[in-house]
Structure 1
């Protein structure tokens, strides 16, 4: 059997990163603390010592800056983006499992570890050896120390003390069948009335949900797409078109086409055509139907039914108002409940909990018990032993997880209090209760007129986290 080999064709390239960063730097000079700058897969803001977070919803990336990570009185611009294309393995024998996330400005350093969380495409994480990577000034990728990385559920958590590029790769554990999740997309269009063209694209599915997260009202150019699991040992996908209507003749000598899995990208927002098929009809057809069949090395097969008209419009279901929205308005449409103060915990409360839980206590009432409640494995807990403040790292991990889950700060603090109750650490529980009660009283006595850009904050009650009325007695 003869297969044709298809080179990648880029249908759209990301905006120039240097230009976007230059524009963000201008914005950061006069932007208010907490104000967001968003364009495509780039988001940035200006932070102070109270910390906060950045999110890229389409990539499910969260960057959490804990309180105290930035010096008091300092304004620190922070940004992250996923505007890179990466195909194949970075290191021989391994597979790229995550998007490439760049945090900046390059070389920015912090007093306390910042947490970067990004998804991975491993179907069975326990069967994989994960390696988190960082890129140096020369552009080479190097392995991060194991004590700087957690893999929990469908996310990789990296604890950073400076900024550069990051991703994760992996290989199968000995004797294990390691699988990863990819997405296959198919679309078609008419060309010159009597010609039909079918395009097939494949990319790493690093989303933590079965469906792809998209801006409401905007449809993808892929008319059909579905998740597909491939083994770490699989090297190629064989694609062919079946069930074509009579009268249509496929052009080209090869009826089957090969896609190398080494050519699969990690950016799921990138529309890349990995292979295409062309059909010709003697007359002008009214419509087109076919089945796209994709088979892996391991003989796993998936089929997508494709049906379209000559007059199909890609954005027929789109909300007409979306075309008039700014990037920031689109961002808020996806994240209607985000707020610049959300996930900002006071430095005093953070310090109190660290001083209390870092001290070894019987009955797992210290940071070890806290780590177990967060679901960390024994090996992960052991890596915290050598840290100056294990609790500080656990709190950063906890609030990053809460942001991934979509929880607001009041919900996260309530859950934190419940964890301390389960640990029977009543002192830690009391600190959180006092903090939330006093913050709520302060919030009820004031009317907020804070704004983000031109968008006023919702009237929804948000606990005050600006440093007023927190418990400070850590004795």
Structure 2
């Protein structure tokens, strides 16, 4: 029996109105879609921000990579930034487009000399469509690239060593500044070239074949200013050359380059008075010995050819180098100095007048440094610098002024003389050193000054300056450079950098590289040219004759006529090579 009641007090089941369930499900779907869209937006924004950060890093490095390479005849405009004097103009108008990974070379002077395979930069893997603009040139050969990478004709990828895309910096980039007159650079390839800093005696010869075929580097040569990079001298050691940097460091070389450094070593004694050491600076700033002249072994990385006023260093690792030395007992060694006398160029309008005498190394670079300094101070060189041999005797350098007309002039010097301490001069790390003689005239009507200045090492050699000048006239600058001295361009690229044509070079190498039972091979050529101090260095090279000819080029860059080389070959009986030299050369 069924019982029925009225639907009251919640006893009856409620039913939803038609269409209510559809609205609920629709709302849930819309909310889910909005959540997905918001998540996508957040992801896109984060991705773009990350890409923008990576792109900023890559742009800096790619610009550093591509800024270095231009055609051989390209001359960039002068820039205000002293760190990048050869910075190129905007290359967008003539740029090609390269899609794919970048490659970098290992950095550091202590890198392994063995070739290291190039690897893709991990920062560029997520960006396969990144466009990198590279300079378009039809005068430079193409690069060696992996099989899966292609470049259109004339496009060049810069392989300048820059570390990990702007993260790592070369130590020397912080310490070296490319100042006008103290640096030079050029883009060199397989044909080689020569970098020369005019009026300094510093140069870098890059022989043909040194740079791998298809590769191009912006090579630089810098003289480090003494207040920025100091080569320390330990104990009785003395600095004998400027500190020079060449690079880029870490680049792979197929054969040695030749770095030429001027020095102030006195070498005309019959017995050796010097122990000479070549030093290099690491990326951490420490100095290490590379070799000691006369103590070379098969493991020595360099060869040093010592001449009267300069040395030529054959090396396969670019970096920062300098020459130091110390006396070899029992005789004390001597170093060559220059004494340079300067006075104000402008007419003297006051009662006071001063003369400055500099004591500097007898090298072209040291004199150029002082001339530039005095030019900025308004000074002028009164006469040619005088040479002075400074002996390792612990005696100071004494300077005094004499024969002043006391009726018209008075010296403000209280003592009879001034002295420069021995160690300040001998160390070679404190320069330029100078003394000032301050004078006072009796009245403005006095215009003529005549006196004598004596400079000598106590118990050693000395020099005398005889001065006669009109201080109320504008003094004309005196040029210490000989009028007939050759002025080499700062950079020479390709065959124009070498005196010996490539055809003659190949003939000589083919004739002398193979050992001869009669000894008429590259060893006899080394003896004839005076390069036989350590023959084992040349014996380890694939072409000993080629390295000897590279050294000959460096030693005769200013006067490299072929007569001296032809004479050596004639004495060896190499008539077949002489015929080629007479036909193709300038003998």
Aligned 1:218-367 pairs, distance under 5 A: 221-224=380-383, 225-247=385-407, 248-264=409-425, 272=432, 274-284=434-444, 285-315=446-476, 334-335=487-488, 340=493, 341-343=496-498, 350=505, 353-367=508-522
Structure 1 residues 238 and 62, CA gap change in structure 2 (3 angstroms): same
How far apart in 2 are the matches of 1:79 and 1:299?
41
**SS of 2:526 mapped into structure 1:** helix
Corresponding residue for residue 544 of structure 2: 390
Query: Is the aligned partner of 1:128 residue 2:274?
Result: yes
> Could you tell me the TM-score, scaled by structure 2's length?
0.59
Alignment of 1:38-437 (within 5 A): 39-85=180-226, 90-124=233-267, 126-145=272-291, 146=296, 147=300, 148=302, 149-189=304-344, 193-207=350-364, 221-224=380-383, 225-247=385-407, 248-264=409-425, 272=432, 274-284=434-444, 285-315=446-476, 334-335=487-488, 340=493, 341-343=496-498, 350=505, 353-377=508-532, 379-403=533-557, 405-407=558-560, 411-412=561-562, 415-429=564-578, 432=581, 436=584
Listed one character per residue, the Cα deviations across residues 343-370 of structure 1 (whole Å, up to 9, x for unaligned) are: 0756676455445423211233111101
Going from structure 1 to structure 2, the CA distance change for 1:333 and 1:358 (only over 3 Å counts) comes to: closer
Q: Is the 8 A contact 1:203 1:265 kept in 2?
A: no
**Contact 1:150 1:380 survives alignment (8 Å):** no
Structure 1: 5+ residue runs without aligned partners?
1-16, 319-331, 438-461, 464-475
Cα distance between partner residues in 2 of 1:424 and 1:374:
15
Bigger relative contact order (CA 8 A; separation at least 6): 1
CA distance in 1, matches of 2:264, 2:179: 25
Consecutive unaligned residues in structure 2, runs of 5 or more:
1-78, 92-134, 141-177, 480-484
**1:280–1:157 Cα change, 3 Å:** same
Quote the offset at 1:304 in angstroms.
0.8
Please state which structure has a larger fraction of its residues in strand: 1
Residue 128 (structure 2) aligns with:
none
SS in 2 for 1:384: helix
* RMSD, aligned α-carbons: 4.0
Local SS of the residue matching 2:84: helix
